[in-house]
Amino acid sequence: MIFKEFGNKNMPTIVFIHGGGLSWWSWKRHIEALKNDYFIVAPIIDGHGEAGDTTFISIQKSAEQVIEYIKKSCNGKVFLLAGLSIGAQIVVEVLSREFSIAENAVIESALVYPIKSTTALTVPMFNLCYGLIKRRWFAKLQAKSLKIPDDLFDEYFKDSLKISKESLINISLSNGNYSIPSTACNIKSKTLIIVGEKELSIMKKSASLLHDTIKGSSLKVIEKAGHGEFSLVQTDKYISLLRQF
């Protein structure tokens, strides 16, 4: 895992963890807006972008890497830990292992109910369509489904060429098989849970479970928003909500 750093190290630390198939650049506008007031860390999850020469193993392994970085580089605690999709699952895993590692946490679109068909379908699916990710037209379709803004497409396409089939399979398996840790009820961070109104029912069900499990947490349903659309597309509103929170 590569850790990109921005801003002044003497300021409170925010860690933004990107979604699957994305990279640190998905937080570019957030970094620009916040870097004068905070020290921003944007990890690149193994298997993605500049870390494409490594293989993604699991959400649990990624959480261990984030915890190690925070302990070594941030005196063991950060002001805010935020993530989207698989990045949000990593946030859940980090907080469920180290209950007070973040003063605040934002969990957007985190799946915490395992999908039964994931294991059976993942390997055959990627064996069939892995070659398509190197085609620009297919990448355009994927970018649209991931709600990636047009100005970030070139970076997305460039990075999508670097991800291995093994990493893609592991990402899909880890994401689809992830369930909320039993220790999540011990999380001490002030936590905001976000889900889009237009997301799949299992995502809304996951958000409700997280809200019910994490004591004192807040749940916000974003009107007319799909998966990842709030932080990626409605960036100004996302940043405003962060500041209020």
Query: Which CA distances in Å does 172 have to 21, 198, 222?
Result: 10, 21, 25
What would the pLDDT profile of 205-219 be if each residue is shown by its tens digit? Answer: 999 999 999 999 999
What would the pLDDT profile of 141-194 be if each residue is shown by its tens digit? Answer: 776 777 777 887 888 888 887 888 889 889 988 999 999 999 999 999 999 999
Report pLDDT for 107: 98
CATH class assigned to 2-244: alpha beta
Report pLDDT for 136: 76
Query: Which CA distances in Å does 89 have to 59, 124, 175?
Result: 7, 24, 8
Report pLDDT for 120: 56
Report pLDDT for 131: 65
Report pLDDT for 124: 61
Report pLDDT for 23: 93
Report pLDDT for 130: 63
Q: To 10 degrees, the CA torsion angle through 106, 152, 65, 81?
A: -20
Report pLDDT for 151: 80
Regions of the chain with pLDDT less than 70: 117-132, 137, 143
Query: Which CA distances in Å does 183 have to 65, 78, 195, 213, 215?
Result: 19, 20, 22, 9, 12
Cα 106–chain centre separation:
10
